[in-house]
Amino acid sequence: MEAKEKLFPGLDGVVAAETKISFLDTVQSEIVIQGYDLIKLSQSKDYLDIVHLLLEERLPESTEKIGMEKILKSEYDIPAEILEIFKHLPESTHPMDGLRTGISALAGYDNNLDERSLPVNKNRSYQLLGKVPNVVANSYRIIQKMEPIRPNKSLSYSANFFYMITGREPSPLEEKIFDRSLVLYSEHEMPNSTFTARVIASTQSDLYGALTGAVASLKGNLHGGANEAVMYMLNEADSVSKFEQMLETKLFKKEKIMGFGHRVYMKKMDPRALMMKEALKELCDIKEDHLLFEMCEAGERIMEREKGIYPNLDYYAAPVYWMLGIPIPLYTPIFFSARTVGLCAHVIEQHANNRLFRPRVHYTGERRVLN
Ligand code: COA
């Protein structure tokens, strides 16, 4: 009989890959992205800087950034047939499922699909980065029986994304905050969706397949779906005292509170959450409406006192998106769209230095004899 290898439920603490892309340094409390601290990046760099950093492994010169933005804009359009597919999906289709269908369908339009070389994968990543916001906005709109919306190339990448999901151009402050949320969501080491993408890529499957799997992973409440769940909770409570009561009841029933806890940070606040908390304060100040901020802070206090656990990014991104007027069902698709660049970087790295993922199990079933 084989000796039993040690079992790690949920692969907790298991190191599954070597990477130069990112690392959660819990000792120095830094989210390291290509060597830089993500929080510091988010204070002075925008989403396109991070796209360049993740795909080209360095921050761009200003002319390079302009060139890259041009390429992204030239990739905004998606095939009319894909818009047509969305028309045939039932209205009950979840936006993440619409997004998953759209990304999957894009594979058919890549006439170089079997090619996995670095330049081709990078080019494919830029194409996807151009198209994913369009897929997010129009899969949602068309499934909801709204007219499709055309990208506005006169706006910045983030402002156009905002425009396509809300139907209006953002103010400079809204654009800055939305862009910052994309930076904070852009890459985060090895969450379930990134692991999923790398597992799929490790079979030599293509980028579209890896991203399609990652959408499915990110949809779950324990992962990206948490941001939408947080907003539904806040809306249902609608006052500080009712929110406190709601959390106390959920904790009493041993339910998980969405937007709190993290496999890696667990007993510390996710530093990205702090950035979105500041953004929420800024938006509440401007709108002279502090209800959401006060509710969130009250929730934080309860969770610290009762469980000793802290908010993750989704807890504060949700009310920020609400204050920006973004429809709740698009919160997780936005997370995915921002994370597309991180996922592409990981798939490229996996393809460049591949070993098939194929773990083992502890078998707990019976052994039977066939007569
Ligand atoms: N609410 C209440 N308790 C929580 C909690 C939460 N959000 N997150 C963790 N805990 C508690 C667990 O009940 C458990 O307590 P116990 O030891 O007394 O049983 C302990 O903390 C460890 O939790 P566990 O679920 O084993 O940790 P994990 O590493 O598997 O889970 C998450 C990490 C993110 C899945 C988990 O924190 C969670 O479900 N959070 C809510 C969903 C969410 O916000 N997801 C987005 C993550 S970025």
pLDDT tens figures, 108-122: 999 999 999 999 999
Is 262 a known active-site residue?
Answer: yes
pLDDT of res. 268: 87
Q: Is the pLDDT of residue 228 over 60?
A: yes
pLDDT of res. 2: 64
Residue 5 pLDDT grade (very low, low, confident, very high; cuts 50, 70, 90)? confident
pLDDT in tens, 253-262: 999 999 999 9
**CB of 233 shorter than 6 A to ligand 1:** no
As a 3-state breakdown, the chain gives helix, strand, coil percent values, each rounded to 5, of 60, 5, 35
Q: Is the pLDDT of residue 63 over 90?
A: yes
CA distances from 52 to 30, 151, 274, 371 (A): 20, 21, 25, 63
Closest atom, ligand 1, to C-alpha of 12: 29
Q: Is the pLDDT of residue 206 over 80?
A: yes
Yes or no: say if 283 and 324 are a contact pair by the CB < 8 Å rule: yes
Give the residue, by CA position, lying nearest to ligand 1 atom 15.
Answer: 307
Q: What pTM was computed for the model?
A: 0.97
**CB of 10 shorter than 6 A to ligand 1:** yes
Domains and CATH numbers, the chain: 47-169+186-219+336-352 (1.10.580.10), 226-323 (1.10.230.10)
Choose, from 188, 223, 346, 351, the residue flagged as catalytic.
223
Give, for ligand 1, the residue of 222, 230, 263, 335 to mutate: max count of ligand atoms closer than 8 Å to Cβ.
222
Give the max Cα distance, the chain: 77
pLDDT of res. 4: 79
Is 49 a known active-site residue?
Answer: no
- Give the H/E segment covering residue 285: helix 271-287
142 vs 145: CA distance, rounded Å: 5
Give the residue, by CA position, lying nearest to ligand 1 atom 12.
Answer: 256
Q: How many residues are present in the chain?
A: 371
**CB of 225 shorter than 6 A to ligand 1:** no
102 vs 331: CA distance, rounded Å: 17
pLDDT in tens, 293-328: 999 999 999 999 999 999 999 999 999 999 999 999
Q: Is the pLDDT of residue 269 over 80?
A: yes
CA 183 to ligand 1 centroid distance, Å: 25
pLDDT of res. 286: 96
Name the pairing type of β-strands 30-33 and 22-25. antiparallel
Mark 57-84 as b/e (b = at least 16 C-beta within 10 Å). eeebeeeebeebbeebbebbebeeebbe
Beta sheet of 22-25, edge-to-edge order: 22-25, 30-33, 36-37
Q: Is the pLDDT of residue 3 over 80?
A: no
Closest atom, ligand 1, to C-alpha of 315: 44
215 vs 209: CA distance, rounded Å: 10
Q: Is the pLDDT of residue 1 over 70?
A: no
